[in-house]
Amino acid sequence: MPEIAPITGHRVAFFGGSFDPPHAGHLTIARAAQQALKLDTILFAPVGTQPLKPLGSTASYEDRVAMTELAIAKEPDFCVSRVDAPKPGGAPNYTLDTLHVLRAHMAAGAELFCLMGADSLHGLRRWYHAAEIPFTAHLVVASRPGDNLNDLSMLLPQGVSLQSANPVHLGSGNVELLTYAVRNATGTTAPFYVLPGLHVDASATQIRASLHGGFGATPLLLPQVANYIVSHHLYTDG
């Protein structure tokens, strides 16, 4: 288990992903979530082994951490966390386990959120102990082109139901936020948030393909990340 420093702030979001490389989509949804939910801290956590990505990442974990550090360098409330560092033998990093580790490092009474894009919500039913995740951290789902959020009930893990069909429209800083409640079989409820107005057309897969094809850096990459990619010869082979 990596060394985890105590986590400051009372409203803390875990933002897991491959960050292979980090791009404008990641930053846009994190900024929107921070504004809408008044988050104190967002922990960008590159993953060692994503259980549902059998081919793994292209860049090494250390390169992904370094690029993520560069991408968030100007964002005072974002930080990179090694909570999802590679495990011995390449064992999978399960989000539920990670959320429990984070909770153990947070102050009593602090709230934990889990930020993800719409494509991740579409896969959530297949995650390890998925039904426990919305009750371990409040889910915050950002819209993304190609993955509609019209029927949320169908996307929630089995045993989790949407309690409020009519969401409350809230949010601060001009960011639209829908607030629902979810409920499990024991009657426990939790808030469940959607950021419906983002639709940032950016993906690491597209960016890797562009770099591999020799088309150079795209505007979706921060210049400092693009420079790192060039100087470390990433995403050119394979």
Chain residues 91-120 in contact with ligand ATP, contact rule CB under 6 A: 116-117, 119-120
Q: Closest CB to ligand ATP among 114 and 183? A: 114
205 belongs to the binding site for ligand ATP (CB under 6 A): yes
Nearest-approach distance from CB 114 to ligand ATP, in angstroms = 9
- Cβ contact 84:45 at 8 Å: yes
Give the separation between CA 50 and CA 58, rounded to whole angstroms.
12
Letters for 140-179 (x = contact with ligand ATP by CB under 6 A, - = none) are: --x-x-----------------------------------
Give the separation between CA 155 and CA 172, rounded to whole angstroms.
26
Tokens for 195? 């950021």
Residue type at 197 in one-letter notation:
G
Nearest-approach distance from CB 123 to ligand ATP, in angstroms = 9
Q: Closest CB to ligand ATP among 142 and 190? A: 142
The binder of ligand ATP chosen from 7, 13, 17, 39 (CB under 6 A):
17
Within its chain, how far is the Cα of 43 from the centroid? 9
Q: Closest CB to ligand ATP among 70 and 183? A: 70
| 3-class SS of residue 106 | strand
C-alpha dihedral (95, 98, 102, 105), degrees to nearest 10:
170
Letters for 54-93 (x = contact with ligand ATP by CB under 6 A, - = none) are: ----------------------------------------
182 sits in the region (left: phi over 0; alpha: psi -120 to 50; else beta) called beta
Q: Which of 188, 183, 194 is nearest to 152 (CA)?
A: 194
Stretch that binds ligand ATP, among 21-29, 96-104, 125-133, 154-162 (CB under 6 A): 21-29
Q: Closest CB to ligand ATP among 182 and 202? A: 202
Measured CA to CA in angstroms, residue 180 lies from 37, 84, 224 at distances of: 14, 28, 38
Q: Closest CB to ligand ATP among 10 and 125? A: 125
Within its chain, how far is the Cα of 51 from the centroid? 15
203 belongs to the binding site for ligand ATP (CB under 6 A): yes
18 belongs to the binding site for ligand ATP (CB under 6 A): yes
Give the separation between CA 163 and CA 39, rounded to whole angstroms.
24
Nearest-approach distance from CB 19 to ligand ATP, in angstroms = 5
Please count the helices (runs of H) and the strands (runs of E) in the chain. Answer: 8, 9
25 belongs to the binding site for ligand ATP (CB under 6 A): yes
Binding site for ligand ATP (CB under 6 A): 17-20, 25-26, 29, 116-117, 119-120, 142, 144, 200, 202-205
